[in-house]
Chain A
Amino acid sequence: MVSAPSPTPEDFHVTATALPEPEHLTAVANRPPLPVKMVIAGGFGVGKTTTVAAISEIEPLTTEASITEVAAGVDDLTHTPHKTTTTVAMDFGCITLDPTLKLYLFGTPGQDRFGFMWDDLVEGALGGLVIVDTRRLDDCFAAVDYFENKGLPFAVGVNVFDGSLGHDLDEVRWALDIGENVPLVLFDARERGSVRDALLVVLELALARAER
């Protein structure tokens, strides 16, 4: 804690104007970049935070956010119109692509249950990457369902820990019941270039859709 004895407004003025950046930088910095975002989804412990960390220019940050929890059972939905809100920890990172454009990557809160809604995250997102661990394929069903329902462009990324792939990609596609129009890629969540390329697959899909 600073032991500044009763600061006067003048003190604050000094602080405000004596920022370490030169004038021209301050001018640029005060014009915010255009923010865009992508969503990284998948089951618990599948590598979402690793993926964000691999490419983010900052250490991934965690914030407390609210998500909507709907009844897990399909039948219950009609009987429980009231959704509840749950507070969860959400990881995210960002990449400044140029001074006027900043990409945010939001990891969906890890959970292994169905029935969460991430409207807050997905609204306005360019696309999503669903991360899959082939040892626990069913963990990602909720994310695949959700993105499909939302019409969000998304790809499924099979995270290859140690280069090992439990199943062949066609089997994964079959097991996830995703169409040929959903790209399925192998990637390594720890490798920046690999994460970048997986995100580019999603973005190319989003671009192709937007151009239609």
Chain B
Amino acid sequence: MVGSAATTEGPYGSPQVRPLRPYVMADDPPPPPLPAAPEPAPEPEPPAPAPEEVSTRSSLAVRPFLLTTGRVAGAAELPLETQVVATSDGLAALPALTFEQHAIVAACRVPLSLAELAARLRLHLNVVRVIAGDLRTARHLAVYVPQASTAQDVSVLRRVIDGLRAVPDSRGLPRDSDRPA
């Protein structure tokens, strides 16, 4: 096990607690109030012994930021397309992880973007950001933050254009074969 950074405050600076109004399912009963202070991680459930069934689970019945003890992603937010991959430490630590952490690390055996993770696990994007940040601090996840300057990189743009041109249309033809040069 990795010595977990018990006293660090996560990658986004100090934990923020504020009365959020995240969505609630339409027929939910009135939800309980958020905890007033970031208590030492009273995660909602102990690790449940059903690790592979995450996709069928609906987490929407829980107010999403309960899972992060009220923290929301701070200013230095990870972009949506940030790629995350489980580390071998993370996979080894799977049995010790709480439910959402477990689900994220298990899903990241192959690289996924934060957006894909959130969609697959039915978690709010910012919840995934916070938990992924925690897992990164604990070295359970490798997080590859894209550079914003990539968008102006000529070689990247050329690669994207070439790649997209090769995408066949619904008749199976790539871009350059269906029109005269």
On A, residues with C-beta under 8 Å from B are: 1-2, 4-9, 12-13, 15-16, 19, 29-37, 55, 61-66, 87, 90, 92, 94-95, 97-98, 101-104, 106, 120-121, 123-126, 191-194, 196-197, 199-200, 203-204, 206-207, 209-211
The 3 lowest CB-CB distance pairs between A and B, nearest first, are A193-B169, A97-B163, A32-B111
Closest to A88 in B: B23
Chain A residues whose C-beta falls within 8 Å of the C-beta of B120 in the assembled complex: 61
> Looking at chain B, what size class is its interface with the partner chain?
35 or more
Closest to A21 in B: B110
B160 and A36 within 8 A (CB): yes
Known contacts being A95-B164, A97-B159, A104-B115, is A191 close to B169, with CB within 8 Å?
Answer: yes
Closest to A199 in B: B164
A193 and B111 within 8 A (CB): no
0 or 1 for each of B145-175: is its CB under 8 Å from A? (1 = yes): 0111011111011111101111111110101
Chain A residues whose C-beta falls within 8 Å of the C-beta of B53 in the assembled complex: 1-2
Of A2, A55, A62, A200, which contacts B161 at CB under 8 A? A200
On B, residues with C-beta under 8 Å from A are: 22-23, 49-53, 64, 77, 79-85, 91-92, 94-95, 109-111, 113, 115-116, 118-120, 123-126, 144, 146-148, 150-154, 156-161, 163-171, 173, 175, 178
A104 and B113 within 8 A (CB): yes
Chain B residues whose C-beta falls within 8 Å of the C-beta of A123 in the assembled complex: 79, 148
Chain A residues whose C-beta falls within 8 Å of the C-beta of B170 in the assembled complex: 191-193
Complex CA gap A94/B112 in Å reads: 11
Give 16 A-B contacts (CB < 8 Å), ordered by A residue: A7-B49, A9-B92, A32-B84, A32-B85, A32-B144, A34-B156, A36-B160, A63-B124, A66-B125, A97-B166, A97-B167, A194-B169, A196-B165, A200-B175, A203-B164, A210-B152
